[in-house]
């Protein structure tokens, strides 16, 4: 099968996925599976092979990341239900002061969105933003932008959020490096868009007003005010990063001992992402137990229910990617790119990864779907190019999932409704702000790609 035919098949399959999701409102899971079948048929695969590849791709993908997605959701629910997220915000505000409130709110979003999904985190923290805007006479649009950008950037870029976890697992990228570089890039992007751009919006005459509390809100706040004991913000931050610390300890520890020793096996066990996330969730439960009203098994049951759709989409994306790989399109693309230098090939693939992810994000709205689908599409190509860093390509995919959020995205309406914004304000804060963060992230990733020869052991 020629590369031209395979590329046409890929374009047809991808167009089918986009059109059926956008135009006909087909569920992404079904759309991805049918798209894989179309790709397999055009790519010359036997029907029996298409069926077996679909099943193996679905199962193998979940085998790699299913456990960590579940425990990541459990950890997020524990922090949310215990009140840890609000305490993290309050701690950061005390540290920075009201004059630096946009930075504090951005950092709050940055931290809270690692374990907690965007929609839930925004709803939890929007009342804090309203209070701070009113008391500090800070433009409300500035703080909403800071919160939204802090949340979505980390949601798309930083492990152990499910989307980045799926990308790292699909591309076989090192978890430690993926987390470190993802966190650094996301932090810079959050400052650029969530602080500087947010302040620019606040200086615009029509957006300069602080939040004005309604009588109904004041009454509701007084009725729901609680004196219940809450955990400290510092504890919440520690619990967020505890699984990452275990992974880093295991990864680094293995470098200094022989692979034949028990100590090496212990480091490998502790540093395994599945074990680290599970231990992190268990530690979080016991640390937060005094502040929880639910039993641990109830939290796990709820988290499993919430994880179901993520499992389905992730598995379907893996099935799609496995069928694409089986057609041989990745090998043929590698052959045709063999004339490029390592740096040129890396830069090209990073840009392509960002564009595909960005298009999928804009087309169907979900960041997680965009990340999972794009990583599945590009995994064969990344695996076939030894000179290309899976970490950088994976981060480019994640960066593409940040911006160009349109009204087909639930996050767009969460910001619109809970902040009580007009459509214009929602586009200014959420869509444009997220796009600035995504472009900033891409620029930083390209810079790292140019420095790849200087940092060969780290990327």
Q: Is the pTM of this model over 0.95?
A: no
Instruction: Collect all residues with Cβ–Cβ distance below 8 Å to 88 and sequence separation of at least 6.
Output: 108, 111, 112, 233, 236, 237
Going by the DSSP 8-state scheme, the letter that residue 225 receives in this structure is -
Q: CA-to-CA distance for 147 and 128, rounded, in angstroms?
A: 10
Q: How many domains does the chain divide into?
A: 1
Supply the pLDDT for residue 205. Answer: 55
Is 458 part of any domain? Answer: no
Q: CA-to-CA distance for 194 and 107, rounded, in angstroms?
A: 9
Instruction: Collect all residues with Cβ–Cβ distance below 8 Å to 161 and sequence separation of at least 6.
Output: 72, 113, 114, 115, 154, 155
Going by the DSSP 8-state scheme, the letter that residue 114 receives in this structure is T
Nearest to 188 by CA among 286, 107, 277, 101: 107
Is 20 part of any domain? Answer: no
In DSSP notation, 69-92 reads HHHHHHHHHHHHHHTHHHHHHHHH
Task: Tell me which residue range forms the domain holding 284.
Answer: 65-213+230-311+330-450
Q: Are 165 and 126 in contact (CB under 8 A)?
A: no
* Helix segments in 261-366, DSSP class H: 262-271, 273-288, 296-326, 329-336, 342-364
Supply the pLDDT for residue 375. Answer: 86
Q: Are 426 and 412 in contact (CB under 8 A)?
A: yes
Q: CA-to-CA distance for 403 and 72, rounded, in angstroms?
A: 24
| Greatest C-alpha distance within the chain | 69
Q: Are 51 and 313 in contact (CB under 8 A)?
A: no
Supply the pLDDT for residue 221. Answer: 45
Supply the pLDDT for residue 207. Answer: 59
Is 16 part of any domain? Answer: no
Q: CA-to-CA distance for 76 and 284, rounded, in angstroms?
A: 10
Measured in whole angstroms, the distance separating CA 423 from the mean position of its chain's CA atoms is 25
Is 28 part of any domain? Answer: no
In DSSP notation, 45-60 reads --HHHHHHHHHHHHHH
Count CB neighbours of 304 within 10 A. Answer: 13
Supply the pLDDT for residue 134. Answer: 78
Supply the pLDDT for residue 224. Answer: 42
Q: Are 385 and 345 in contact (CB under 8 A)?
A: yes
Is 403 part of any domain? Answer: yes
Burial class (CB in 10 A: 0-12, 13-18, 19+), 266: middle
Is 135 part of any domain? Answer: yes
Is 221 part of any domain? Answer: no
> Alpha-carbon dihedral of residues 165, 108, 237, 307, nearest 10 degrees?
-40
Q: CA-to-CA distance for 194 and 149, rounded, in angstroms?
A: 5
Is 224 part of any domain? Answer: no
Average pLDDT of each block of 10 consecutive residues along the chain (459 residues)? 85 84 80 91 94 90 76 81 78 74 87 74 77 80 92 89 85 87 95 93 72 53 54 86 83 84 91 87 93 88 80 79 80 65 78 88 78 81 78 94 81 83 88 95 93 66
Q: CA-to-CA distance for 380 and 140, rounded, in angstroms?
A: 46
Instruction: Collect all residues with Cβ–Cβ distance below 8 Å to 3 and sequence separation of at least 6.
Output: 329, 332, 333, 336
């Amino acid at each position: 099968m020629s590369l031209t035919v395979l590329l046409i098949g890929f374009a047809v399959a991808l167009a089918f996925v986009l059109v059926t999701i956008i135009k006909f409102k087909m569920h992404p899971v079904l759309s991805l599976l049918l798209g894989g079948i179309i790709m397999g048929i055009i790519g010359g695969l036997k029907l029996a092979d298409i069926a077996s590849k679909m099943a193996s791709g679905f199962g193998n993908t979940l085998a790699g990341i299913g456990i960590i997605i579940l425990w990541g959701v459990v950890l997020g629910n524990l922090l949310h239900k215990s009140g840890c997220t609000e305490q993290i915000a309050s701690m950061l505000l005390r540290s920075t002061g009201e004059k630096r409130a946009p930075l504090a709110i951005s950092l709050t979003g940055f931290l809270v969105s690692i374990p907690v999904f965007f929609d839930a985190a925004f709803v939890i923290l929007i009342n804090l933003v309203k209070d701070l805007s009113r008391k500090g006479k800070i433009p409300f649009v500035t703080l909403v932008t800071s919160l939204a950008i802090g949340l979505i950037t980390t949601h798309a870029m930083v492990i152990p959020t499910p989307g980045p976890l799926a990308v790292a697992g699909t591309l076989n990228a090192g978890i430690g490096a993926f987390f470190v570089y993802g966190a650094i890039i996301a932090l810079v992007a959050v400052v650029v868009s969530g602080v500087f751009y947010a302040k620019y919006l606040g200086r615009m005459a029509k957006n300069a007003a602080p939040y004005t509390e309604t009588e109904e809100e004041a009454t509701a706040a007084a009725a729901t005010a609680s004196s219940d004991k809450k955990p400290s913000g510092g504890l919440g931050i520690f619990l967020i990063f505890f699984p990452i610390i275990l992974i880093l300890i295991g990864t680094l520890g293995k470098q200094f001992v022989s692979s034949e020793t028990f100590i090496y096996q212990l480091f490998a066990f502790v540093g395994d992402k599945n074990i680290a996330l599970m231990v992190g969730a268990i530690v979080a439960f016991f640390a937060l137990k005094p502040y929880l009203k639910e039993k641990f098994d109830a939290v796990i049951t709820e988290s499993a229910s919430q994880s179901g759709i993520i499992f389905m989409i992730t598995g379907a994306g893996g099935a799609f990617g496995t069928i694409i790989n089986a057609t041989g399109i990745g090998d043929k693309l590698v052959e045709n790119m063999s004339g490029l230098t390592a740096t040129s090939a890396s830069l090209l693939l990073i840009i392509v990864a960002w564009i595909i992810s960005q298009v999928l994000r804009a087309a169907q709205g979900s960041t997680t779907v965009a990340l999972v689908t794009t990583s599945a599409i590009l995994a064969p190509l990344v695996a076939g190019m030894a000179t290309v860093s899976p970490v950088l390509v994976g981060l480019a995919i994640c960066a593409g999932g940040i911006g160009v959020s349109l009204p087909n995205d639930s996050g767009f309406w969460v910001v619109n409704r809970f902040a009580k914004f007009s459509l214009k304000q929602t586009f200014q804060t959420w869509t444009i702000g997220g796009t600035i963060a995504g472009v900033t992230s891409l620029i930083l990733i390209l810079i790292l790609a140019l420095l790849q020869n200087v940092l060969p052991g780290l990327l």
